[in-house]
Structure 1
Amino acid sequence: MQHQHNSSNAIKLSVIVTVKNEVSSIATFIESLLNQSLKPDEIIIVDGNSNDGTQEILNKFEAKNKIRMLVRECNIAEGRNFAIANTINEYIAVTDAGCVVDNNWLIEIAKAFETPDNPDVVAGNFQFDCHNVFEETVVLSTFNPERAETEAAIYYPSSRSVAFKKCAWEQAKGYPEWLYAAEDTLFNIRLRQLNFKFVFAKKALVTWRPRETWKALAKQRFNFSRGNARVGIGTEGYMINIKYHGLILVFLLLSMTWSWMMVFSIYPMYLHIKNNLWSQAKKATRKSNRPNIFWRVLLVMEFVRLMGIVGFIRGRLDRYLNKHYIENQMQWMGIKTLDDLEENYRA
C-alpha cells in the first residue's frame, strides 16, 4: 500500500489486524481505519485463509492501495506476529476485525506516546455495541463497569485496542504463538515482566459487539479459561470457584441419599453469591435500567463461572498431557507457570 500522508507532526503508526471470515463487518471496519483523524502510515491485515468472501473485499481495498493484505493459515498470535514483522515503523497499533474504531483512536494513542511518561505500551479503551438485553447482561456480567478507573485498564489491554513500540514486542519475543486463547493477556504480562512502561489512553476507543447467544458465550469463556489454565493465569480465582462449587456439588449428591444434607449446600452457595457475584450484580443495577437486571446478571455470572471451571480443568489437563506448554513457557518467559511470577505481575 502507499504510505498515508499526514500533515500532523505526530508519530507514524503502523496498524496491524488479524481477520478470518468477517465478510459482514470487514468493510465497515476498514472504513473506520481509513477515516481516522490521524491517518495510519500503513495498514497490514493478515487473513487466516477466509472462505466466506472476506478476502474478495480485502482485495478491493488493496487494489486501491488502502491496505496491504497477507494471507496465511495461522492462529491469532501467529497472525499478529507475522503482520508486525512486516511493518516499517517503530510504533505498532493493534486491533481486530469485527470492531469499529473511533475516528480519534489513533490520535489519542499518538498523544499518549508523546507524553513526558514516554511509555512503551499504550492501553487503549473499548466499549460495547449491545443490541438486546442478553448482550447488555453479558457485558455487565463479565466486565467491571468501573474498569476504566482500575489498574486492569492500564496493564491488561485487549489486543483489539493496544499499541506498543516494536522494540518492546521484539524483546518480549512477540505474541506467544504456542498458545490459543489468552495469548494477549500473557503478552501483556510478559511486557510487564520486562518492566516496560504502560499508560492508559481513555479516549482511544474501539467498539465491538459482545457474544450474542448462550452457546457463543459458553465457547468463549471455555476457551479463555482453557488458555489461562495452560499457563497459570488467574489460578487462585479458579481454585476459589472450584472450592465453592465442589462443596455445593458434594452436598447435593449426598442429599440424593440423605435428603437433609440438602440444607448444607445452602451455606457455600450463599457464600459464593455473597463473595463472588453480589457486588458485580449490584453495580449492574446502577448502570442499567433494564427490569430484573440484577437477577439476569447473577444468572449469567454463574453460567460464566461454570464454563470457566470446565475450561480451567481442561486446560490443566492439557498442561499435564502436553509438556510442550511448560517447555514453551519456560523458553518464552523464563518460568514454567505464572504461579512462579511475582504477584504484582500476575493477572
Structure 2
Amino acid sequence: MRPLAQDEERVTFWRRHTIGGVVLCVVLPAIVALRTWISPDVPNTEWILPIAAAVAIPAPLLLLVPVERLVRHPRGRLFYDTWEAAGIALVIVLCLLDGGTSSPYVLFLFVLLAHAALAYPPIGVGLAGTTIVAGYLTMGLVDGSLRPSDLFVGVLALTVATGTCAFASANHVRAYERTAAYAQEIATLARRDGLTGTLNHRAFHERLQAEVRRAAADNPVSLLIVDVDSFKTVNDTFGHPAGDGVLQMVGASLTGLTRPGDSAGRLGGDEFALLLPGTALPEATAVAERLRERVRTTAADFGATVSVGVATATSPDVTALHAAADAAAYRAKRGGRDRVVAATEPGTEPATEPALSAS
C-alpha cells in the first residue's frame, strides 16, 4: 500500500482535502436540517435530525487529525477510506429514513463521488462508486418506491458518474505525476552543474556545511580541492570543446570515486571538490591519489592533469577545513602540478609540505 503523499505539495493538498471533507460534514447535515424545517411532512425527523447533528457537531474535530503523518504512512489512506465509506453509509441511512430512492438525499451520493474523484486514485474512486451503486440498488429493492425501469436508470446514472469520476481521477493523477517529475527534474538541474553533472557551487557548499557540522574526532570529514593543471593551455591548444571534454572527464572521475554519502562538486571554472564524510586523512589522501592517476590516464590525449589538496576536519569549522584544503591545492600547483598535497590539520600552514606524489 503506497502512501498518499511523498512530498510537501501533496501533503498540503491532503490538508485542503481534509478541510473540504469537514465542510461537507457540516454543510450536508445543515441541508438536511433546513429541509426538515421548511417541510413539516418529512418522515422520521426524530431519527434524521439526531443523525445529522451527530455528524455536524463533532465534524470540526477532524481538523485535529495529524494529516501529514497519515498521508505519509503506507496505511494512512485507511483513515480516508473509512471516512468515505462512513459518509456513504450515513447518506444511505438518511435516504432509507426519508423514503428510500425517492429521497432528495440521494443527490448527496453524487456529491460524495465527486469529492472522492478530487483526491483518490482511480481504483479508490471505483470502489467508492461501486459501494454507492450497490447501496442505491439495495435501497431500490428494499423500499420498492421506484419502478424497475426508473431504478435501472438511476443505477446506470450512478455507474456512468463513477466511470466519469474514475477517468477524471486517472487524468488528474497522470497530470500530477508528470508535473511532479518535471518539478523534480528542475530541482535536480538547479543543484547540478550542467556540463559535468556534479553538484554546483551552492549545492556542494550546502552539503559541505551539513557534513562538517557533524564532524568530530570519531567522525572525521575530509575535503579534496581539485584544480585542473594548465587548463588555459588545453583550451588554447585543442579548443574549448576539448576543454569542456577535459572538465567532463574530471567530473566523471570524481563521480566514479564517490561512495554512498560522498559528494562531488564543481566549484567554478576548472576547480572541483570531493567531500568524504567519515573519512580520515590517510584514506582521503589515497582517494586523491586514485583520482590523480585516473585523470592523468583518461585525459592523456590532452596532457591534462590535476593538483589536489586534501584536508580533514574533526571539529565543525567549515571555513578552516576549506581554507586548509585550498591552501594544500595551491601548494600542489606551486610544487610542480600533477600531485597530491595533504594539510596536517585545518588552519595550519606547515613550513614545508612535501609532495606526496608527483609526475
Using CA pairs below 8 Å that are at least 6 residues apart, which structure has the higher relative contact order? 1
Larger Rg: 1 or 2? 2
Measured against the shorter chain, the TM-score band is: under 0.3
The structure with the greater share of residues assigned to helix is 2
Structure 1 length normalisation: TM-score?
0.22
The structure with the greater share of residues assigned to strand is 1
